[in-house]
Amino acid sequence: MARELTSIRNIGIIAHIDAGKTTVTEQMLYMSGTKHRAGAVDSGTTETDDDPEEQQRGITIFAACVTFRWKECSVNLLDTPGHVDFTAEVERCLRVLDGAVVVFSAREGVEAQSETVWRQANKYGVPRIVFINKLDREGADFYRVLDEIGPRLGADPVAIQIPVGQGPNHTSDPFRGIIDLVDLKYLTFSHEDSGRTVRSQDIPEELVADAMDWRNVMLEKLYSFSAEMMELAMEEKPIPPELIRKALREACIAQKIQPVFCGSALHGVGVQPLLDGVSHYLPCPLDRPPVQGVDPKKRDKSLLRKPDPKDPFCGLVFKILPAKTGDMFWIRVYSGRLESNSRVYNPNRDKKENVAQLWQIHATKREKQGQIDALECGDIACAIGPRDSITGDTLCDTRDMIELPSIQFAQSVISMAIEPENTTERKKLAEVLDMLKRQDPTFHATESSESGQTIISGMGELHLEVIKNRLVRDFHLNVKFYKPRVSYRETIASTAEVTGQCNRQVGSQNLFARLQVRFEPLEDLSAKVIVLDRTPPEKMLPENLRQAALEELRNRAEGGGLVGSFPLTGIRISVLGAEVAEVGSDEVAFRIAANDAFDEGLRAGKPSLLEPVMKMEITTPPDYLGEIVGDLQQRRGLIERTEARGAITSVSAIAPLKELFGYSSAIRSLSQGRAGCSMEPQGYQVAPQEDLESFAM
């Protein structure tokens, strides 16, 4: 089993939108012989973008898994979205992966979502290699992008390849090959078979000096990771490629460096050396530390699971695909063995689950020939049978239980009201929305008690648009849609101490309770409401009354504020003391007093409306910079940085989401279709007073 584990690579392809992730995936499938021809994103023929919405838009929306062999390695590859609205797909994939390939466009370089996915990979400690793509494009600059990666991402990239030429064929020095700095060879790729034939030859004489300079830069970075290399260098002896690869692998797995490759995935240039890099430098399951969890029965007791088939089984559900024939639960197995027709335990739900079938995953489809009898540690596959599990849940042995850390997702920032045409459609809509919530943890749906409408919430305009199209196209629902609206939050502006009271006659009994409560704003506006008991020992309530008051305050905090019933954030609520009577001070009385204190505290603390703000990165030709900056300022945008990147200018800004509806169309109009924009949630800020007054009316 040890030999098999060393040959497994669980990797993801991550990048900013349009950097070429799906094309890289397609070429890997083609080069490995899994496909006889590479598909194209523009024609909708790629293996991993098989959803109609993805094919129509030419972008990845749903993470997809493919498995293939490359030489001695078995690769489980997850192709992830680059659009920020679907960043949850990246989050859950990185949670279970051992390594990643980060793709950058040689033209655009490090972009906004590049930074986001890099931070996500840092969060989960995922080793990375880098592929600088699109070197045959106008404006491509390998060296500029290489220089950006370190300071922009806090990384330490090490070039182990450099390009020969850059840009398209009509330029004076077009991209035509790659110099491998480890083996000191010049690699060219045949156009006749889309790069499948690789020719390795000696480096042309006019390029030797440049190659040796870059090789020395690479070796200088590696000496601190290999005493053997340092010794050979001091003795002025040649350093064998095998020793260089060993040092690169150890430093990469330790996340000290990131080996950098280059090429043009569209034409298959550089893809085979990149696959070799996956095999040489990215970790197998044995290279990763044991997973940590807790005993579900004794949560203060830490447990470890090693990637060993003899350890008790444990795995993590990281994605669910609803299906009429049975939901498909994507599972990463960390230890032990999972067999079909077996029972496992879910500590998150405290339930036992049946695992009826196990399947290999191919994109988002089940292939009949892919059904398997068992999974072992290191595997990523699909289980059918569980009923109560959700994304982020642990599945483990029913006797040796462990609960692994779950997956935390960002809060939704935009919502839309929808309404079914009749009662029959309402029931069908509820079933479909429940299914979509199981599939997508960042999608939420609730029914408004005031209007009877269903409010759906997501991560951005595109996210809601995709949901809307699926409801109509895939599920044939007859539903009215209303304009998207911002998901506001509510907080307080100042500290307030109030006394909540209950002094009322109920039947023959007089209920009495008083509760002193302090309400304080937190520095972090987006933090969840904290409810604390700070009652001095001499004023402590009986436990049942104390719990009733605290529970009521927590329930109210989860239920929304006074302005528009928006979720509350950024508040600390502290119980300071209480008064009781000999008769009539019961749990009901203290719940009433807690309710009264809650309403009084929010009013006295001066309700404040919070609006979501977005971090934006705009790329534009310099000719349109003035119009774009002027438009942003009218939208209450704050310009943080402008930076020239070759033939384009990059603008970093922060602006309220409310002002950005339809911005992608507006920026195209301002630039004759030549500018682009990406945005991601940045947090919350205090909304203008007029917005607060409009909801308070």
612-622 tens-digit pLDDT: 999 888 888 89
Whether 2 shows a pLDDT value over 50: the answer reads no
pLDDT, tens only, 638-654: 999 998 877 788 899 99
Choose which CATH entry (3.30.1300.10, 3.30.70.240, 3.40.50.620, 3.30.1330.60) describes domain 610-696: 3.30.70.240
SS3 610: strand
Pairing of strands 337-339, 177-180: unpaired
CA–CA separation, 656 and 665 (whole Å):
17
Which stretch of 34-48, 302-316, 392-406 has the lowest confidence by average pLDDT?
Answer: 34-48
**What distance in Å separates the CA atoms of residue 184 and residue 167, rounded to the nearest whole number?**
23
CATH 3.40.50.1820, applies to 292-396: no
Tokens of 65: 């898994």
- Interval 264-281 mean pLDDT: 96
Q: Which of 19-28, 184-193, 531-540 has the lowest mean pLDDT?
A: 531-540
Instruction: Give the pLDDT of residue 42.
Output: 66
Mean pLDDT of 566-571: 91
Whole-angstrom Cα distance, residue 677 to residue 572?
37
Provide the mean pLDDT of the chain.
90
Number of C-beta neighbours around residue 9 at 10 A: 22
Query: Is the CB of residue 307 less than 8 Å from the CB of residue 377?
Result: yes
For the segment 306-328, the average pLDDT, to the nearest whole number, is 89
CA–CA gap between residue 493 and residue 84 (Å, rounded)? 31
Short-list 160, 84, 93, 164, CA closest to 126: 93
Residue with the larger pLDDT of the pair 260 and 472: 260
What pLDDT, on a 0 to 100 scale, did the predictor assign at position 682? 85
Query: In angstroms, rounded to a whole number, what is the distance separating the alpha carbons of residues 11 and 78?
Result: 6
Residue 196: name the closest of 36, 22, 20, 73 by CA: 36
The closest of 662, 658, 626 to 642, measured between CA atoms, is 626
- Encoded tokens for 53: 């919405």
Three-class DSSP category at 419: strand
Residue 49 predicted with pLDDT over 90: no
For 67, the enclosing helix (H) or strand (E) is: strand 64-70
pLDDT at 553: 95
Q: What is the pLDDT of residue 550?
A: 95
The DSSP bridge pattern shows strands 128-133 and 258-262 to be: parallel
Backbone angles phi, psi at 21, to 5 degrees: -60, -50
- Kindly state the tokens that stand for 636: 């209450």
Burial of 578 (0-12, 13-18, 19+ CB in 10 A): buried
Per-residue 3-state assignment (H helix, E strand, C coil) for 334-361: EECEEECCEEEEECCCCEEEEECEEEEE
Half-sphere exposure of 280 (CA within 13 A, CB side): 22
Q: Is pLDDT larger for residue 368 or for residue 278?
A: 278
Pair 273, 187: CB distance under 8 Å: yes
Q: Which pLDDT score, from 0 to 100, does residue 449 have?
A: 61
Q: Which amino acid is at 521?
A: P
Residue 36 has pLDDT above 90, yes or no: no
Architecture of the domain delimited by 418-480: 2-Layer Sandwich (3.30)
Which own/partner contact pairs does 293-298 have at CB distance under 8 Å and 24+ positions apart?
293/394, 293/402, 293/403, 293/404, 293/405, 294/402, 294/403, 295/401, 295/402, 295/403, 296/347, 296/350, 296/401, 296/402, 296/403, 297/401
- Cα(53)–Cα(168) distance, integer angstroms: 31
What confidence tens digit (pLDDT) does each residue in 410-457 have? 778 888 889 888 888 888 999 899 888 888 888 989 887 656 688 898
pLDDT-above-70 percentage for the chain: 97
Looking at this protein, which amino acid is placed at residue 615?
K
Check pLDDT > 90 for residue 24: yes
Measured distance CA(641)–CA(651) in Å, rounded: 6
**What average pLDDT does range 91-120 have in this prediction?**
91
**Whether residue 122 has pLDDT greater than 90:** yes
Q: Could you give the strand order of the β-sheet that contains 530-533, starting from the edge strand earlier in sequence? A: 496-506, 509-521, 571-579, 530-533
End-to-end, the C-alpha distance of the chain in Å comes to 68
Residue range 491-605 forms a domain whose CATH class is: alpha beta
3-state secondary structure string across 359-390? EEEEECEEEEEEEECEEECCCEEEEECCCCCC
Please tell me the number of Cα atoms within 13 Å of 574 on its side-chain side.
12
Query: 3-class DSSP state for residue 290?
Result: coil
pLDDT at 485: 83
**Which residue bears the tokens 């997809």?**
64
- For 137-167, the pLDDT digits (tens) are 999 999 999 999 999 999 999 999 999 999 9
What does 471-534 look like in DSSP terms, one character per residue? HHHTT---EEEEEEEE--EEEESS-EEEEEEEEEEETTEEEEEEEEEEEEE-SSTTSPPEEEE-
Q: Which of 146, 151, 154, 61 is nearest to 105 (CA)?
A: 146
- Helices 241-253 and 227-234, interaxial angle, to 10°? 140
Residues 6+ apart with CB under 8 A from 605: 492, 493, 494, 495, 496, 519, 521, 571
2-287: CATH number:
3.40.50.300
| pLDDT of res. 561 | 85
Whether pLDDT at 113 is above 90 = no
Of the candidates 460, 470, 463, 518, the one whose C-alpha atom is nearest the C-alpha of residue 492 is 518
pLDDT at 54 over 90: no
At residue 317, the 3 state secondary structure works out as strand
Core vs surface per residue 87-115: b (16+ CB within 10 A) or e: bbbbbbbbbbbbbbbbbbbbbbbbbbbbb
pLDDT digits (tens, 9 = 90+) for 348-364: 999 999 999 999 887 65
Task: Examine domains 418-480 and 610-696 and report if their fold is the same.
Answer: yes
Q: Which pLDDT band, with edges at 50, 70 and 90, does 367 fall under?
A: low
Tell me: pLDDT of 487 over 90. Answer: no
Q: Domain map of the chain by residue range?
A: 2-287, 292-396, 418-480, 491-605, 610-696
Tokens representing 104 are 């950058």
Q: Taking residues 485-509, what's their average pLDDT?
A: 89
Q: Is the pTM of this model over 0.85?
A: no
Of residues 363 and 314, which shows the higher confidence score?
314
pLDDT greater than 80 at residue 43: no
Distance (Å, rounded) from C-alpha 479 to C-alpha 463?
17
